A and B are shown apart, each in its own frame.
Chain A
Amino acid sequence: MTNEAFVEIKDVVFRRDQRVIYDGLTASVPRGKITAIVGPSGTGKTTLLRLIGGQLKPESGDVRVDGLSVQSLKRSALFGLRKRMGMLFQSGALFAELSVFENVAFPLRVHTDLDDDLIRLVVLMKLEAVGLRGAVDLMPSELSGGMQRRVALARAIALDPEMIMYDEPFVGQDPIGLGVLLALVKQLNQALGLTSLVVSHDLQETLSIADHVIMIANNRVAFQGSPEVMQASDDPLVHQFLHGSPDGPVRFHFPAPSLEDALS
């Protein structure tokens, strides 16, 4: 296994309207490993995934995926690169007018010439992996939120991508579903050497399978390294986040004038 990074992010500055989201973000995602992205809500974890997927462009700085500079790729090259990435969206984002089967089959139909029998085989295998083979003929509206997210995961891995980005895959899962998904993320990573990026608020569970952690807070990378080092860290920022204390250097409040000023 090489030590090289699959995704490299360098000095990225990104703004939403006037508000700075990243002010010089530098991070790297090692190839073939599971990388956890953690941080307070609203700190820009989803935004980071979208920058990597080329859906957003940084104001300055460089985002490289497998050596390709995402923000300067042409549309067609970008779409080509995206075939090699899977992404699981925070809301599942299944196509509402297609059945579960067709949702999972969608990337295969678009990007491969497989015949119907083979597609059926692949779809059923992927659904089996997330434990939803029985739901194959249902429509997305007939699934619970947690089930939708699992179908979305099956769709994201349909093309056997080289990298997969999970945005909050564990939300809305019962303990069993959570265990199954954790094992699945780990297994996908090990069996296929998939570079995996997991954004999650289930800190302990995520850290238990992660090889690498990137913590984002206060517009920059607050910590980067292995979970063990993170647990042992005495950096007040990291410590506050790991132990969930309201007071400390991590801003819990959305930027605003002080309460006294606002009330007077």
Chain B
Amino acid sequence: MMNWIAGIGRSTLSQLSDLGRATLILMQAIFGRSNVGVHWRLTIDQIHVVGVLSLSIIIVSGLFIGMVLGLQGYTILTDYGSEQALGQMVALSLTRELGPVVTALLFAGRAGSALTAEIGLMKATEQLASLEMIGVDPLRRVVAPRFWAGVISLPILSLIFVSVGCLGGALVGVSWLGVDSGSFWSNMQASVDFSDDVFNGIIKSLVFAVVVTWIAVYQGYDLVPTSEGIARATTKTVVYASLAVLGLDFFLTAVMFGEI
């Protein structure tokens, strides 16, 4: 029994110290002297790596999720004879929930794990140590551009996901199942509110972006520099990031749409 309690204490302490270290790393990466010109260029490069290269998976998934929504929505809505509300249903589910959440989950798997592995490998091959010895702070040079790239890319990817999803919904609903194209789009336009829906969706996605990228770069920077350590850290990135996204989503939804 005592052991059990001591175990809980120990693991709580180690979680807390992890959180502390992660915060410290993030703060040092974001704040502090930097060469804006160089770091901006590095950030652009990283936006290419984490953002542009994630485009294909985001577009394909967005299209399919939109199509599934169109299909499922249609079968439910026809029961009530209100299939012209399909546009509204597809657009609202995507902007409020599926867009930010699914994009963040895909991003964690596609870009987050890659970030962790890349930084981890740089640590294992002493590239981070040699940056330090050259007098360059790896937190600013390696971690910060990747962090910003993630924070900038994910909300944009999420908007793309939503747009493609709406097209997917229209493809199935309008072109295939024969919902009237005019009512599909005008219903969507009338019901989606910019500040309530689109803006809240962007906020959500921004929060997910910070959390997912933070977890990814921290796991990479802090891992045990062996091949096993890298494997464990990439797994942790995907697991922690996904759980964090789902948990935060509930919280944010409650605050934004809960009317409590």
Judging by beta carbons under 8 Å apart, are B130 and A87 in contact?
yes
Judging by beta carbons under 8 Å apart, are A79 and B135 in contact?
yes
B123 to chain A, nearest CB (A): 10
Judging by beta carbons under 8 Å apart, are A79 and B137 in contact?
yes
Judging by beta carbons under 8 Å apart, are A96 and B135 in contact?
no
User: Which residues of chain B (114-152) have a CB below 8 Å from chain A?
Assistant: 121-122, 125-127, 129-130, 132-137
Is A169 interfacial (CB 8 A cutoff)? no
In the bound complex, residues from chain B placing their C-beta under 8 Å from that of A94 are 127
Bound state CA distance, A90 and B225, in angstroms? 15
B31-42 contact mask (Cβ, 8 Å, vs A): 1 or 0: 001000000000
In the bound complex, residues from chain A placing their C-beta under 8 Å from that of B132 are 53, 55, 79, 82
Contacting A90 at CB < 8 Å: which of B121, B126, B137? B126
Judging by beta carbons under 8 Å apart, are B135 and A111 in contact?
yes
Judging by beta carbons under 8 Å apart, are A82 and B135 in contact?
yes
User: Which residues of chain A (69-99) have a CB below 8 Å from chain B?
Assistant: 75-76, 79-80, 82-83, 85-87, 89-96
Contact count band on A: 20 to 34
In the bound complex, residues from chain A placing their C-beta under 8 Å from that of B137 are 75, 79
In the bound complex, residues from chain A placing their C-beta under 8 Å from that of B125 are 91, 93, 96
Bound state CA distance, A84 and B3, in angstroms? 51
In the bound complex, residues from chain A placing their C-beta under 8 Å from that of B126 are 89-93
Is A256 interfacial (CB 8 A cutoff)? no
B226-243 contact mask (Cβ, 8 Å, vs A): 1 or 0: 000000000000000000
Judging by beta carbons under 8 Å apart, are B129 and A93 in contact?
yes
Judging by beta carbons under 8 Å apart, are A87 and B133 in contact?
yes
Judging by beta carbons under 8 Å apart, are B135 and A55 in contact?
no
Judging by beta carbons under 8 Å apart, are B135 and A83 in contact?
yes
Bound state CA distance, A87 and B130, in angstroms? 7
> Which residue of A is nearest B137, CB measured?
A79
In the bound complex, residues from chain A placing their C-beta under 8 Å from that of B133 are 53, 55, 82, 85-87, 89
Bound state CA distance, A92 and B126, in angstroms? 8
Bound state CA distance, A82 and B129, in angstroms? 12
Judging by beta carbons under 8 Å apart, are B127 and A110 in contact?
no
> Which residue of B is nearest A54, CB measured?
B132
Known: A91-B125, A93-B125, A96-B125. A110 touches B136 (CB 8 A): yes
Given pairs A75-B137, A79-B132, 8 additional interface contacts (CB within 8 A): A55-B129, A55-B132, A82-B132, A82-B133, A89-B126, A93-B127, A93-B130, A107-B134
Q: List 28 A-B contacts (CB under 8 A).
A: A50-B129, A53-B132, A53-B133, A55-B129, A75-B137, A76-B33, A79-B132, A79-B135, A79-B136, A82-B133, A87-B133, A89-B126, A89-B129, A89-B133, A91-B126, A92-B126, A93-B125, A93-B126, A93-B127, A94-B127, A95-B127, A95-B130, A96-B121, A96-B125, A107-B135, A110-B135, A110-B136, A111-B134
